[in-house]
């Protein structure tokens, strides 16, 4: 896994500082969380700022641990700037997809770095499809199997509105990581073409379902 890269440490620190500020200051939390009503009134900055807030320490810890485990692979292949672009683009795209699906729901709110972290995770899967992930931290599963399975589960979660989870932000973040990685590392098309095609399948399914009005 290697040492914790400085840019990863900075991103984790920013998430921790802003999240703990939000834990203690509700007015701060309310101002910067993702809130459809506020965004429709002009608070577009929430599309970015909400990605650095979290509901509680468990939510923060899970996201930062996932980032910690996969950031180095992305930094190794794409460099520091490429990693930052993947992180921020995935965060924004995840929230834009949330906005697209919930723009008429004035009560919809969300926080968390999950979209950004999912983007980093899917970027790492594209760059290193041979790596193994621990399902439930125990069962070894090939990264690409996890990636495809999770995106299909996310589509199901979006359709059924399962739990208090921003499935659409997760999906949008994963798509952001997928697209940015292909843009920044075109060699992936040659070396991992099958993975590029397989990971695109859930994205096409979501597009078709949305066009059919199923989501």
Residues 197, 200: Cα–Cα separation, whole Å: 5
Number of CB atoms found within 10 A of residue 192's CB: 20
Most confident of 33-47, 131-145, 157-171: 33-47
pTM for this one?
Answer: 0.87
Helix 143-160 vs helix 114-127: crossing angle, to nearest 10:
150
Over residues 80-130, the pLDDT tens digits come to: 999 999 999 999 999 999 899 889 989 888 898 989 998 998 899 899 988
Name the helix (H) or strand (E) containing 69: helix 57-102
For each of the domains in the chain, give its residue range(s) and CATH number, in order of start: 6-211 (1.20.1540.10)
The burial of 130, by beta-carbon neighbours within 10 Å (0-12 exposed, 13-18 middle, 19 or more buried), is given as exposed
Q: DSSP state, 162?
A: -
Strands (E), the chain: 34-35, 109-110, 132-135, 139-142
Q: Which residues contact 155 (CB under 8 A, 6 or more apart)?
A: 167, 171, 202, 205, 206, 209, 215
Res 153 pLDDT > 80: no
Residues 66, 109: Cα–Cα separation, whole Å: 23
The token pair at 59 is 């939510």
């Amino acid at each position: 896994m290697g040492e914790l890269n400085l840019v990863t440490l900075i991103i984790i620190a920013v998430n921790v500082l802003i999240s703990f500020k939000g834990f203690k200051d509700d007015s701060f939390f309310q101002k910067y969380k993702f809130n459809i009503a506020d965004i429709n009134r002009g608070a577009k900055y929430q599309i970015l700022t909400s990605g650095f807030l979290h509901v509680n320490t468990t939510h923060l810890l899970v996201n930062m641990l996932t980032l910690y485990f996969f950031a180095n692979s992305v930094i190794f292949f794409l460099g520091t700037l490429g990693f930052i672009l993947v992180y921020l683009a995935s965060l924004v795209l995840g929230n834009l997809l949330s906005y697209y699906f919930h723009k008429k729901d004035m009560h919809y709110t969300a926080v968390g770095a999950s979209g950004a972290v999912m983007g980093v995770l899917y970027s790492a899967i594209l760059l290193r499809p041979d790596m193994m992930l621990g399902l439930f931290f125990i069962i070894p599963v090939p990264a690409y199997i996890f990636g495809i399975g999770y995106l299909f589960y996310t589509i199901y979660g979006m359709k059924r509105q399962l739990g208090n989870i921003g499935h659409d932000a997760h999906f949008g973040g994963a798509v952001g990581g997928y697209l940015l990685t292909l843009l920044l590392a075109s060699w992936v098309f040659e070396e991992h073409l099958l993975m590029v095609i397989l990971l695109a399948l859930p994205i096409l399914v979501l597009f078709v379902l949305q066009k059919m009005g199923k989501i």
